[in-house]
Structure 1
Amino acid sequence: MTTPRESVLTAADHQHGLPAVELRAVTRTYAAGPQQVRALDGVSVAFPAGSWTAVMGPSGSGKSTLLHCAAGLERVTSGQVLLGGQDITTAGDADLTALRRREIGFVFQSFNLIGSLTAEQNVALPLKLAGARPSTKDVRAVLAAVGLDDRRRHRPRELSGGQQQRVAIARAMVTRPRVLFADEPTGALDSAAARKVLGLLRELVTAGQSIVMVTHDPAAAAAADSVVFLRDGRIVGHAAAPTAREVADRLARLEA
Structure 2
Amino acid sequence: MVGMTIQLQRATAAELRDVTREYGGKHARVRALDGVSVAFPRGSWTAVMGPSGSGKSTLLQCAAGLEQVSGGQVLLGGRDITNAADRELTALRREQVGFVFQSFNLIGSLTAEQNVALPLKLAGRRVSTRDVRAVLGSVGLADRLRHRPRELSGGQQQRVAIARAMVTRPEVLFADEPTGALDSKSARTVLDLLRRLVDAAGQTIVMVTHDPAAAARADAVVFLSDGRVVDRAVSPSAREVADRLAALES
- Distance in 2 (CA, whole Å) between partners of 1:144 and 1:77 is 41
- Distance in 2 (CA, whole Å) between partners of 1:85 and 1:166 is 29
Question: Which residue of the other structure, out of 37, 51, 61, is the alignment partner of 1:58?
Answer: 51
The RMSD of aligned alpha carbons is 1.1
Question: Which residue of the other structure, out of 145, 150, 153, is the alignment partner of 1:157?
Answer: 150
Size of the alignment, in residue pairs?
241
Q: What is the 5 A alignment of 1:187-202?
A: 187-202=180-195
Deviations 1:141-191 (A, max 9, x none): 000000001001000000000000000000000000000000000000000
Displacement of 1:248 = 0.5
Q: Report the secondary structure of 1:35's partner residue.
A: coil
- Distance in 2 (CA, whole Å) between partners of 1:17 and 1:57 is 25
Question: Which residue of the other structure, out of 158, 181, 184, is the alignment partner of 2:177?
Answer: 184
Deviations 1:32-90 (A, max 9, x none): 68310000000000011000000000000000000000000000001000012110011
Structure-2 change in CA distance of 1:130 and 1:18 (3 Å): same
Deviations 1:117-150 (A, max 9, x none): 0000000000000011210000000000000010
Q: Report the secondary structure of 2:65's partner residue.
A: coil
Paired amino acid for 2:216? A
Whether the 8 Å CA contact 1:18–1:84 is kept in 2: the answer is no
Segments of structure 2 that go 5 or more residues without pairing to the other structure are 1-8
Q: 2:129 corresponds to which residue?
A: 136
1:78 equivalenced with 2:81 (yes/no): no
Q: 1:41 corresponds to which residue?
A: 34
Q: 2:4 corresponds to which residue?
A: none
Whether the 8 Å CA contact 1:226–1:239 is kept in 2: the answer is yes
- Distance in 1 (CA, whole Å) between partners of 2:234 and 2:224 is 15
Segments of structure 1 that go 5 or more residues without pairing to the other structure are 1-15
- Distance in 1 (CA, whole Å) between partners of 2:41 and 2:26 is 38
Q: 1:248 corresponds to which residue?
A: 242
- Distance in 2 (CA, whole Å) between partners of 1:33 and 1:221 is 37
Deviations 1:222-252 (A, max 9, x none): 0000000000000000000000000001101
Question: Which residue of the other structure, out of 206, 211, 235, is the alignment partner of 1:212?
Answer: 206
Paired amino acid for 1:239? A
